[in-house]
Structure 1
Amino acid sequence: MITAVGDAPKTALVYGGSRGIGAAIVSRLVEDGYAVAFTFASRADTARDLASALEARGGRATAIQADSADPAAIRTAADAAGERLGSIGLVVVNAGILKLGTVDAVSLDDLNLMIDVNIRGVFLAVQAALPHVSDGGRVVTIGSCSAEWTGFAGSSVYQFTKAAVAAMAKGLARDLAPRKITVNNVQPGPTRTDLSAGFIDTLSERSPLKRIAEPAEIAGLVSYLARAEAGFMTGASLTMDGGLTL
C-alpha cells in the first residue's frame, strides 16, 4: 500500500531514470518506499533490467520510453505515469545531455539539442506532470555545478543550460507555492557515470576531497528533498560538488 509523506503520496515520476544518477535516484526512491515510474530515451534493455531488479526486491518500478527532446513524448510519459501511479507526489527531472565544443565549433544541431533537452525539456517535463501532481508535492530538477563554474573550455553551452535550470527553479517555486509544491534544484559536481568514464583521475585531482561523487550520494540529497522535513525549502539550488566551486 502506498503511504503518504506530509500531504503527498509516495509516488514518483523520474525523467531520465535508467542510468547513472537517474538510476540511483530511482533505486533510492524505491528503497524509500516509493512506487516509481521513470523514463528512458534509448537502451530499453537497461531500463527493463533496472525495473525488473527493483521489482524482484519487492519494489514498484515502471519504465516508460520518452525522448526529452520531444514535447509530445514528454506529455505522453507524464500521462502514462499518472495512469499507472494515480496522484504523483514527487517529480524528478534528470534528463540531460552534454556535447562539448568551443564557441567557434558548436554546430547549430548540437546547440539546439542541448537547449531542447536541458532547458525546454525540463520546463515541459514539469508542466506535463503538474496535472497529476498532488498539492503538497515535490519537484526536483537535476542541474550541474557548471552553472556556477566553468571548468574547461568547450562547456559554455552546457553551462548556460544548467544556469537556466537554476533560474527556472526559482520561478517555478513561485508559481507552485499556492499549491504547497516545492521546487528545488540539485547541482552535482563530477559524478561516477558514463560521462566521467576515462576522466575520473583528472576530475578527482581537481576536487578538494580528491574524489568524485557516487550517484547514490546525489540520490540521497533528492531523497531528503522529498521528505516532510524539507517542506520549507523551495527555489533553492543545492550544490553537491565536493568543494569544487569553493
Structure 2
Amino acid sequence: MPHEEPLAGGNASGAVVRIGDTVRKPWTASTPSVIAYVRALRAAGVDAPEQRGRDDAGRQILEYVPGELAIGRGPMSAGELRRVGAMVRAIHDASAAYAVPADAVWETAIPAPGAELVCHNDLAPWNLVVGEDRWVFIDWDAAAPSTRLWDLAYAAQAFTLNDTSVVAAEAARGLAAFVEGYGAEARLRRELPEAMAQRTAAMHDLLRTSHEAGAEPWSSLFVDGHGAHWRKVTAYVEQHRRVWRAALER
C-alpha cells in the first residue's frame, strides 16, 4: 500500500494526507461543485491545485503543491503583500466570469452578505503555499457564493491585521500594500474597514455559537485558542478602523 503522510492544518476539512505527488481529502456533497469551479479558474489562468478525481477510498485526489505555508514564513514584505493582493484580484476577476450551475451545492459556515460571485472564503496565510516557482492558494472546499468585499475583507485582515501585537500604524502600511496589489477601487477602499470589522466579528460569532451548541469542528477550535484569538482580532480591527481608513485613503 502507498505510504500516507498526514498533513497538518485542515481544521475543518477532516483528515488530509499526502500520497506521492497527490493530496487525499474527504469527498463531500459540495465537492463536485467545487471541482467544477476550480477547473474553471484554472482554465482562466488562475494557478490552483489540479483536481485528479476520486480514489478507491472515496477521497478527493488533488495535486500536491510543494512549498511552505505563508503562515510559517514570518511577516511578509510590502512587495509580497502586493503580490498576494494581485492573486486575490485575479481569482475574483476569473470568478466573476464563472457561470454557476443551477444545481451547484455549497457548504457555508458563515453566511455571506450577497452572492455576487463564487469565492474561496478562506484566502489566508494558512492556505497559501509559497514555493520556488509558484505561489498557490490551496484548500478550496469552502468555496461558495459571496461578494468581493466580504472575501477581500477576510483576506486583507488575515494577511495584514491578524497579529494584534503589531502597532496599528505598521499593520496599516501592510494593509495598504495588500489593497494596492489588489487594485481596489475607491468604493472598496471606503467600505473595507467596516467590512473587516464585520467579518472578524462573524468569525468569532461562528466559533462562540458553535461552542454553545456543541457543533464540531468549531466548538473544539473555540476552546483550543481560536475563540480567544478571534476575539482579540475583532477588537483590534474595530478599535483601529480610523487608522485603516486613513491608510487606504492615501
TM-score computed with the length of structure 1 as normaliser: 0.32
**Which protein is richer in strand relative to its size?**
1
Larger radius of gyration: 2
* TM-score, length of structure 2 as denominator length: 0.32
